[in-house]
Amino acid sequence: MHYPASRLPQIGTTIFTVMSRMASEYGAINLSQGFPDFNGPQALLERVGYHIARGANQYPPMPGVPSLLAAIADKVERHYGRSLNPETEITVTSGATEALFDAISSMVFPGDEVILFDPAYDSYAPAIELNGGRPVSIQLKPPLFPMDWDQVRAAITPRTRLIIFNSPHNPTGAVRDADDIEQLIRLVAGTDILLLADDVYEHMVFDGRQHHSFASHEVLFERSFVVSSFGKTYHTTGWKVGYCIAPPALTTEFRKIHQYVTFTTPTPLQLALADYLQQAPQHGFELAGFYQQKRDHFCEAMQASRFRFTPSAGTYFQLMDYSAISEQPDTAFCEYLTKTVGVAAIPVSVFCHQPPDMRLVRFCFAKSDQTLLQAAEKLCAI
Strand 160-166 versus strand 113-118 pairing type? parallel
- pTM of the predicted structure, to 2 decimals: 0.96
pLDDT tens digits, one per residue of 321-378 = 999 999 999 999 999 999 999 999 999 999 998 777 789 999 999 999 999 999 999 9
pLDDT tens digits, one per residue of 97-112 = 999 999 999 999 999 9
Detail the DSSP E strand segments found in 106-198.
113-118, 134-139, 160-166, 194-198
Lowest mean pLDDT among 7-16, 17-26, 267-276: 7-16
Taken in order of first residue, the domains within the chain and their CATH numbers are 15-40+283-380 (3.90.1150.10), 42-279 (3.40.640.10)
When computed from its CA atoms, the radius of gyration of the chain, rounded to whole angstroms, is 21
pLDDT tens digits, one per residue of 38-66 = 999 999 999 999 999 999 999 999 999 99
Strand 224-229 versus strand 242-245 pairing type? antiparallel
Q: What is the pLDDT of residue 18?
A: 80
Q: What is the pLDDT of residue 19?
A: 78
Q: Is the dihedral of CA 230, 116, 119, 311 positive or negative?
A: negative
pLDDT, mean of residues 185-202? 98
| Whether residue 3 has pLDDT greater than 90 | no
Q: What is the pLDDT of residue 322?
A: 98
- DSSP three-state, residue 354: coil
pLDDT tens digits, one per residue of 286-313 = 999 999 999 999 999 999 999 999 999 9
Q: What is the pLDDT of residue 188?
A: 98
| Whether residue 169 has pLDDT greater than 80 | yes
Q: What is the pLDDT of residue 251?
A: 98
pLDDT, mean of residues 222-240? 98
